[in-house]
Amino acid sequence: MRSAGVVSIAVFMSRLTGLARESLMARMFGAGLIYDAFMLGFRIPNLTRDLFAEGALSSAFIPTFTEYLAKRSGEEAARLVNLVATAIVLVVGAICLLGMIFAPAIVGFMAPGFAAVPGKFEMAVSMTRIMFPFLLLVALAAQAMGVLNASNKFGVPAMASTFFNIGSVGFGLVLGITLGPSLHLSRIEGMAYGVVLGGALQLIWQLPSLYRLGFGFRIAFDWRHPGLVRIFQLMVPAILGNAAVQINVVVNTNFASSIADPMRGLDGPVSWLGYAFRFMQLPLGLFGVAVGSATLPTISRSAADGNMDEFRRTLSKSLAMIFLLTVPSSVGLAVLGKSIIGGIYQGGRFELYDTEQTAIALSCYAIGLAGYAALKVLGPAFYALGDARTPMYISLASIAINYGTAVAMIRFTGFGHAGLAVSTSAVALFGFLALFEILRRRIAGVYGRTLAATVGKVSAASVVMAGAVWLSTNAMESWLGVSQLARLADVAVSIPLGLLVYYVVCKGLGVIELDMAIRGFTGPFRRRFQRAVP
């Protein structure tokens, strides 16, 4: 929990700077043609990033590298790092080049509806070509993150995304506004180049920590190296499994690009979904990614040592912590969606109607938040056991779940873009339930009764919290109205109130993980304070 606390604090900084970046983008470009094109251009290399870098590569690399650290020499571990880095440069570099060449075909496949709006398709192609090199930089950054996490260094890699956000905004504003006219760049092109430079800063930030651990990059070739071969073997089913996730994203983007909103036509749904998912990533990163990042090295060592009781205990406590933190978060996002979106985004070219539509999407995404976060723990648990096939099969099955739900929601219920958010949540919940049941049977239980008791108490506390927050937010709206200042005031009052009610009810119900979470997540602050005060 202390490791998760360190990661969570760093991720919190990352998500705050990410929200600042998105808020700036919302005010500069609104929700329409320009931001739709930018969002698609960023999403395409982001899909392959999830596929090769932070998805398959991290899941395959960390267990293998952890085993080398535990059972091999430092020289062998360093050589494995260099072999993987060289392979990334060659393979992912080639993918980037092909992506830039075939950008028109990729954009046409992912968002055929863009061609119906003059200039939108061409702008999306331009954005894709500018931002595709971001994939190579973030793949190398993901490997660096894996090395540091496996070495029990969590703070620096978790802060890397903060430097990406700061760099992408800083460089983007300089290139798009200050130097844009002299370089013949539009504002949106400047922000696109900022994304690439932000990715470089994300990698550079981690290099000093790698060097201090003795991992300096050297070009190395040995395609038959046992460690590299094992990573490739784990990556193949992982890539296929992650490909299913990316197929779901492509399907939903395809649908979204063709949804005609009654007020905005074809401009809006892609942006609304993008802005809403950004907010869902706040608790997902704070809790799901943080707990998952801290759990993977630990359960990998347990699996390598054959200590399955420790494996089960760690997994159960991690899942309990996930539910303790994400169930109330999903409720809070659903109840306070309008105030959160309006307080952060509304203004400039982002209008009240955009706030309302984005809040609807956020409520639908929030349904699957706990499932999404739990997958950050369950998926890597299979990789720690040397099983990459089971997550792959579940991911492939999710394609049918996603497509069927999306079609039903859009064509038969008229939910529009909100239906796509519902289909995303359905996939997350299906994946969690399937993987949990399979893993429970494989490792002979995960302290299921204790976990179920925690989930029940947490759900009850979240219901009480929801009632208190609903009353608070309605009272604030009646009193102050719906201006941006009123929305911020509502957030400032209702979130602390909700946290207090949730804490009191959980404490009354005897949720033992509550104190553990507080100690773990506040531990870094307490240690800093103790060092600062004699």
Please give the structure tokens belonging to residue 161: 């995304």
Q: How many CB atoms lie within 10 A of CB 115?
A: 14
Please give the structure tokens belonging to residue 498: 């909700």
Cα(340)–Cα(362) distance, integer angstroms:
10
454: left (phi over 0), alpha (psi -120 to 50) or beta: alpha
Q: How many CB atoms lie within 10 A of CB 443?
A: 16
**What is the pTM assigned to this prediction?**
0.68
Q: Which of 272, 197, 216, 255 is nearest to 81 (CA)?
A: 216
**240 residue type, one letter:** L
Stretches where the chain sits below pLDDT 70 are 1-8, 10-11, 31-32, 47-56, 58-59, 238-246, 249-250, 262-267, 290, 293, 296, 414, 517, 519-534
Please give the structure tokens belonging to residue 104: 């028109």
Please give the structure tokens belonging to residue 220: 């190395």
Residues 6+ apart with CB under 8 A from 482: 338, 342, 352
Q: What angle do CA 455, 301, 137 make, to 5 degrees?
A: 90
Predicted pLDDT at 231: 82
Cα(416)–Cα(430) distance, integer angstroms:
22
pLDDT digits (tens, 9 = 90+) for 439-469: 888 888 887 788 889 899 999 999 999 999 9
Cα(132)–Cα(44) distance, integer angstroms:
8
Element (H, E) at 45: helix 33-48
Going 499 to 505 to 508 to 514, the CA torsion angle's sign is negative
What is the SS3 string spanning 477-505? HHHHCCCHHHHHHHHHHHHHHHHHHHHHH
Cα(41)–Cα(43) distance, integer angstroms:
6
Question: Counting beta carbons within 10 angstroms of the beta carbon of residue 178, is it exposed (0 to 12), middle (13 to 18) or buried (19 or more)?
Answer: exposed
